[in-house]
Structure formats: structure tokens, C-alpha cells
């Protein structure tokens, strides 16, 4: 890509294409008219300070005047100032248009003329050009390169420009003579300035911005699990005053560590099993505040599709042994107790007598996919499965099955925004255990539930929170800052509303004539 970011590349801010078009999307994005106008104004503001110094190619011509034919040359022309007018991004169902109006441009250069009647007359000097009322309108199309790669595309379908008034003032030489052909000079410069404006914009969009979009990341890493894949499945949709894009999101499992170092590799649509989850993303409503530049909805469909697939392939099966606990807590699973909180004090006396100095292992497996439901009251997670309790001597791994339970767990999570990531933590976790089979007689379910509540509070919650605190990163666009972001819990979705600020680390500049005309 060229040295700097061009004016049209700033429209990446508008599209936010590094983020997120499908029916029933799992993720939806909306950019308001305020966001569109901010992008357009930032483009113009950045451009204003950088156009100065750009060169215009030398020109030559002739003019038929009242005294005969006068040949002239214009050289060393440079833009000395650029006065920004007004910029706006107009969006309607047919697409997006960047409009810049009432721009002023001043150009300084040198002139030379030659006139021959009886004798040859030559002269030279300098001139200044004042351009007023310049405008440009660029039509922009956004799309998708292919469903496979899912990256956005950008292309300008048309560019219209206009220069209302060009005033030329010559310095030095015989003013009565060069005033005879100043209209010719004005027309020539007007044509070249119009050409410069449109050619610059088209190259910036069709080459520079297109190249940048082609390399945008369409995955977000999630530490310890894999990555979140949000490739586009269709082009963004245009409405009166805003743009929307939606996505069905996929999770790729690349490094999910299971007990005993078992490594499961795959993605949500498992190899050889491309069956989608038997449910659809929820329909989400607009947030209570609708004045922000950018709104992103993350639906509970994302997590529920993940849990559906990992349950189907047994990834959620877990085997809890003392080695999974901190050394100071491992006695909790012993049959011979040195403290009050111990499985040996919960289970029938026969276990302590028959299996002294042993430990309890708990094999857990989901009986149906865990579910996550988002509402204004919080994030509710429900788990349902079976647990097999076995005993084994501390010096060996030979297990004896004691009993089995049907177990449900209801948890409430807190979601918040932290360091450009949506993070969560478990606030409450309520387990319920019911014994369904036992080889050691009657076992009080209430006591088991209490023991598991303790394990949840002091082990399970901490392990889950270690994963949840890694969070899901907000879409990361180069040089774009989120301003006053807010996280809102809605029915079926977490909604992020925010303004944005563009803070470039490189100068925005206009393309030189040689870059436009290679």
C-alpha cells in the first residue's frame, strides 16, 4: 500500500469492514448517519493539511488573440493552500456516496509566453490561481469477494466533480498581453484540477483501500480455546441514513485442553459433519439509545451454537480428580478426612470404612447442550448432565463406581466492557444433584448438593472465570478509538453502542500526479 492513508481509505471507518451479512445474523452491526458524517469530515479535515505542495503537470498551448497567435507555457505549479468546505456521506437503499462541496484551492506557478508579429517577443513571470466552489461526489460500492474468504470489497463505480470558478492573476511582464489569454489558462487549469481530484479519489478507493480490505483479519483469537470467525456471508445492506451488516459466527477450536492432556482439534462445523444447530439467531431490537455512531449486537446464538457442537462431539465431558484442585484443596475429595469439608463426611459411613485413605473422582458429561440466554436482568446459563462418582486408592488409579447423579446447574453471569474486550464473570452458580443409581445404599441428595455448591464456589467458578476474563475483543480497526462505549444487555443479545475517533499515525495525503498517471 502507498505511504499514507488516502482520503477514501478513511471510509473503512464507515464500513467497519474488518468486523462483520446473513439472514438471521449472529452478529449485527449498524453505522448511523452521525458515524457516516464523522468519517467524511475526518477525511476532509485530514486532507486539508496535506494537499499543499502537491504538483500539477506543466502545460503549454496557444491562444488566438486580437494581435495574433500567442504561445504560452505554464510550469512549476504547486498547490499552496486547500480550504475545506463541507463533507458528508449520503447513504440510501441504493448505496453510499461521499460528497465534498465548496472546496477552495490556490495554486502558484510560473508562466512564459512567446509572440511573433514582426519581431519575436518573449516574457515570463509568475501567476496565482484561485479555485472556488470545487466539489466531488464519489459513488462507492461495498461487497464480498467470496463466501469462502468472506472479506469485504470496496470499489468506486463513478466519480463526478465540478469547479465553479477559476481566477488567474499574472505577475510580471506585460499585463495587457497575458490578459488576452488568461481565459485559456483558466480553462486548462480547471480541467487538470478536476482530473486530479477524481483520479486521486478513484485510485485511493479502487487500489489502496481495496488492498487494505483484502488483508483485513476476519478472525479474533480467544486465548485457550481457539478463534472467533466472523467472515462476511453477504454484502452490507444500505438504508436511509444508516448501514447494517450481519453475520453467522463460527468458532474454531484449536487448543481446548481437556483433562489428562487430551487435545481436541476441530471447528464448530466438525470435519465430516456440517450439520448446523437446530435453532436460529434471535431477532434483536434497537437499543434504548440510538444516537451513537456505531452499534454492535452480539447474540446468544454465538455461544449456543458452540455449546451445541462441542456437546455433540463430547468435548464438554470432564473428569474431576484431586489433581485438578489446588494442593491446599485436594483433601476435599478424600474419604479419610482431616477437616470438616471433605467428601468422606458427606458420603455414607460404608465408604469411609471400605475405602479408607482413598479419593473420589467425578466423571461429568452433558446430557444436552448447555444454553445461554441474555436478558436485561443478566446472562443466564443452564447446564444439565450426569455425574459418576468413583473411588480409588491414593496410590493407584483403579476405580470403583459408587453412585451416579442427574445434575443441573443454573448460573448467572455479569458482562462488562474492559480494555476493548467484552469480559464476563460468574456471579452465582446453583447446582442441584439427584441420585439415580447407587451401589452403597441411600445417599442424601441435599448433602451432595451442598458439597458440590462448595466445589462450585471455590473451584469451578474460578476456573470458568479464568477463561471468561480473557473476553472477546472488540473489532480492531487501525487508528480507530472507541469513545464512551456502553454495553447494554437486551433480550437475546449484548449490545455495544459507541462513538469513534480516528487518530492516524501516518499523514493523510493526496496522490501526486505521477502516482495517478503511472
3-state DSSP: the chain helix, strand, coil percent, rounded to 5?
25, 45, 30
CATH superfamily membership of 316-473: Bactericidal permeability-increasing protein; domain 2 (3.15.20.10)
Q: Is the pLDDT of residue 316 over 90?
A: no
Strongest mean pLDDT among 330-344, 378-392, 452-466, 490-504: 378-392
pLDDT in tens, 99-136: 888 888 889 999 888 877 777 878 888 889 898 888 88
Q: Is the pLDDT of residue 76 over 80?
A: yes
Q: Is the pLDDT of residue 247 over 70?
A: no
* pLDDT of res. 271: 40
* pLDDT of res. 180: 66
Q: Which has the minimum average pLDDT: 46-60, 151-165, 363-377?
A: 46-60
Nearest Cα neighbor of 131 from 219, 191, 210 is 191
Per the listing, cell 453467522 goes with 248
Q: Is the pLDDT of residue 54 over 80?
A: no
* pLDDT of res. 266: 24
* pLDDT of res. 476: 67
* pLDDT of res. 515: 42
Mean pLDDT of 294-299: 82
Q: Is the pLDDT of residue 12 over 50?
A: no
Q: Which has the minimum average pLDDT: 15-19, 20-24, 283-287, 328-332?
A: 15-19
Number of C-beta neighbours around residue 63 at 10 A: 18
CA distance 184 to 166: 11
* pLDDT of res. 13: 32
CA distance 454 to 449: 9
Q: Which residues pair with 228 in a beta bridge?
A: 220, 251
Helices (H) and strands (E) in the chain, counts: 11, 24
Number of C-beta neighbours around residue 515 at 10 A: 16
Those residues whose C-beta lies under 8 Å from the C-beta of residue 199, and which sit 6 or more positions away, are: 511, 516, 517
- Cβ(498)–Cβ(486) below 8 Å: yes
* pLDDT of res. 108: 92
**Who has greater pLDDT, 47 or 509?**
47
CA distance 298 to 374: 10
Q: Which three cell numbers stand for residue 406?
A: 442427574
Q: Exposure string (b/e) for 227-240, b if CB count within 10 Å is 16 or more? A: bbbbbbbbebebee
Q: Is the pLDDT of residue 146 over 90?
A: no
Mean pLDDT of 362-382: 92
* pLDDT of res. 460: 79
Strands (DSSP E) along 172-322, which ranges?
219-222, 226-229, 237-239, 242-247, 250-258, 262-267, 294-299, 318-320
* pLDDT of res. 226: 57
Per the listing, cell 461521499 goes with 98
- Cβ(457)–Cβ(340) below 8 Å: no
Strands (DSSP E) along 32-94, which ranges?
55-56, 59-65, 68-83, 86-92
Q: Exposure string (b/e) for 19-35, b if CB count within 10 Å is 16 or more? A: bbbbeebbbbbbbbbeb
- Cβ(234)–Cβ(21) below 8 Å: yes
Mean of the per-residue pLDDT values of the chain? 76
* pLDDT of res. 255: 38
CA distance 330 to 273: 40
Q: Which residues pair with 55 in a beta bridge?
A: 78
- Cα angle for residues 176, 181, 184 (degrees, 5° grid): 160
Those residues whose C-beta lies under 8 Å from the C-beta of residue 116, and which sit 6 or more positions away, are: 68
Nearest Cα neighbor of 178 from 29, 296, 61 is 61
pLDDT in tens, 97-109: 888 888 888 899 9
* Reported pTM: 0.68
pLDDT in tens, 385-428: 999 999 999 888 899 999 999 999 999 999 888 887 888 899 99
* pLDDT of res. 289: 65
* pLDDT of res. 165: 85
Mean pLDDT of 39-59: 73
pLDDT in tens, 182-226: 777 788 788 877 877 777 777 777 887 787 777 777 766 655 555
**Equal fold, 8-216+492-516 vs 316-473:** no
* pLDDT of res. 518: 44
CA distance 91 to 445: 62
The SS3 call for residue 95 is strand
3-state secondary structure 495-506: EEEEEEEECCCC
Mean pLDDT of 474-479: 68
* pLDDT of res. 512: 35
Q: Which three cell numbers stand for residue 112?
A: 512564459
From residue 450, give the alpha-carbon distance in Å to each of 345, 346, 385, 387, 434: 12, 9, 17, 15, 12
DSSP assignment letter at 204: I
Number of C-beta neighbours around residue 342 at 10 A: 19
CA distance 435 to 256: 30
Mean pLDDT of 359-382: 92
* pLDDT of res. 263: 25
Mean pLDDT of 29-56: 74
Q: Which has the minimum average pLDDT: 145-154, 357-366, 505-514?
A: 505-514
* pLDDT of res. 155: 84
Q: Is the pLDDT of residue 6 over 50?
A: no
* pLDDT of res. 269: 43
Specify the CATH class of 8-216+492-516 in words. Answer: alpha beta
- Where does the pLDDT of residue 39 fall: very low under 50, low under 70, confident under 90, or very high at 90 and above? confident
Q: Is the pLDDT of residue 268 over 60?
A: no
Do you know the residue count of the chain?
A: 518
* pLDDT of res. 43: 64
- Where does the pLDDT of residue 11 fall: very low under 50, low under 70, confident under 90, or very high at 90 and above? very low
Give the residue extent of every domain in the chain: 8-216+492-516, 316-473
Amino acid at each position: 500500500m502507498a505511504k499514507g492513508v488516502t482520503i477514501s481509505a478513511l471510509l473503512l471507518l464507515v464500513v467497519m469492514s474488518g468486523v462483520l451479512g446473513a439472514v438471521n445474523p449472529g452478529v449485527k452491526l449498524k453505522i448511523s448517519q452521525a458515524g457516516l458524517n464523522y468519517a467524511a469530515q475526518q477525511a476532509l479535515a485530514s486532507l486539508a493539511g496535506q494537499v499543499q505542495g502537491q504538483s500539477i503537470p506543466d502545460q503549454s498551448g496557444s491562444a488566438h488573440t486580437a494581435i495574433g497567435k500567442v504561445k504560452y507555457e505554464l510550469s512549476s505549479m504547486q498547490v499552496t493552500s486547500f480550504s475545506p468546505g463541507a463533507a458528508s456521506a449520503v447513504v440510501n437503499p441504493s448505496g453510499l456516496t461521499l460528497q465534498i462541496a465548496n472546496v477552495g484551492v490556490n495554486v502558484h506557478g510560473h508562466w512564459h509566453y512567446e509572440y511573433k508579429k514582426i519581431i519575436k517577443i518573449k516574457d515570463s513571470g509568475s501567476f496565482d490561481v484561485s479555485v472556488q466552489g470545487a466539489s466531488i461526489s464519489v459513488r462507492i460500492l461495498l461487497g464480498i469477494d467470496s463466501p469462502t474468504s468472506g472479506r469485504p470489497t470496496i470499489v468506486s463505480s463513478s466519480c463526478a466533480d465540478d469547479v465553479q470558478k477559476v481566477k488567474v492573476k499574472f505577475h510580471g511582464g506585460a499585463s495587457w498581453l497575458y490578459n488576452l489569454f488568461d481565459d485559456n489558462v483558466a480553462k486548462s487549469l480547471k480541467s487538470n484540477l478536476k482530473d486530479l481530484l477524481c483520479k486521486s479519489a478513484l485510485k485511493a478507493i479502487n487500489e489502496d483501500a481495496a488492498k487494505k480490505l483484502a488483508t483485513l483479519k476476519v478472525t479474533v483469537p480467544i486465548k485457550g480455546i481457539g478463534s472467533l470467525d466472523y467472515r462476511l456471508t453477504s454484502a452490507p445492506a444500505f438504508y436511509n441514513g444508516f448501514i447494517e451488516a450481519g453475520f453467522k459466527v463460527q468458532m474454531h477450536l484449536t487448543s481446548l485442553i481437556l483433562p489428562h492432556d487430551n487435545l481436541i482439534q476441530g471447528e464448530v462445523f466438525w470435519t465430516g459433519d456440517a450439520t448446523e444447530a437446530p435453532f436460529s439467531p434471535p431477532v434483536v431490537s434497537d437499543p434504548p439509545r440510538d444516537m451513537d455512531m456505531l452499534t454492535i449486537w452480539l447474540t446468544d446464538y454465538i455461544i449456543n451454537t458452540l455449546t451445541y457442537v462441542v456437546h455433540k462431539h463430547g468435548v464438554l465431558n470432564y473428569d474431576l480428580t484431586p489433581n485438578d484442585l489446588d494442593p491446599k484443596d485436594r483433601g476435599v475429595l478424600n474419604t479419610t478426612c482431616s477437616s470438616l469439608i471433605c467428601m468422606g463426611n458427606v458420603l455414607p459411613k460404608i465408604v469411609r470404612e471400605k475405602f479408607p485413605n482413598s479419593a473420589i473422582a467425578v466423571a461429568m458429561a452433558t446430557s444436552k447442550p448447555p444454553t445461554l440466554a441474555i436478558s436485561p436482568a443478566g446472562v443466564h446459563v443452564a447446564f444439565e448432565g450426569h455425574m459418576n462418582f468413583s473411588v480409588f486408592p491414593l496410590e493407584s488409579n483403579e476405580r470403583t463406581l459408587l453412585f451416579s447423579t442427574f445434575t443441573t446447574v443454573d448460573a448467572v453471569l455479569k458482562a462488562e466492557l474492559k480494555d476493548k474486550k467484552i469480559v464476563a464473570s460468574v456471579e452465582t452458580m446453583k447446582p442441584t444433584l439427584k441420585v439415580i443409581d447407587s451401589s452403597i445404599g441411600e445417599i442424601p441428595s441435599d448433602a451432595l448438593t451442598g458439597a458440590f455448591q462448595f466445589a462450585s464456589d471455590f473451584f469451578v467458578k474460578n476456573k470458568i472465570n479464568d477463561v471468561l476474563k480473557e473476553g472477546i475483543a472488540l473489532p480492531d480497526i487501525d487508528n480507530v478509538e472507541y469513545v464512551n462505549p456502553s454495553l447494554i444487555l437486551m433480550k437475546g443479545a449484548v449490545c455495544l453502542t459507541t462513538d469513534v475517533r480516528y487518530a492516524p499515525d501516518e499523514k493523510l495525503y493526496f496522490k501526486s500526479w505521477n502516482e495517478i498517471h503511472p
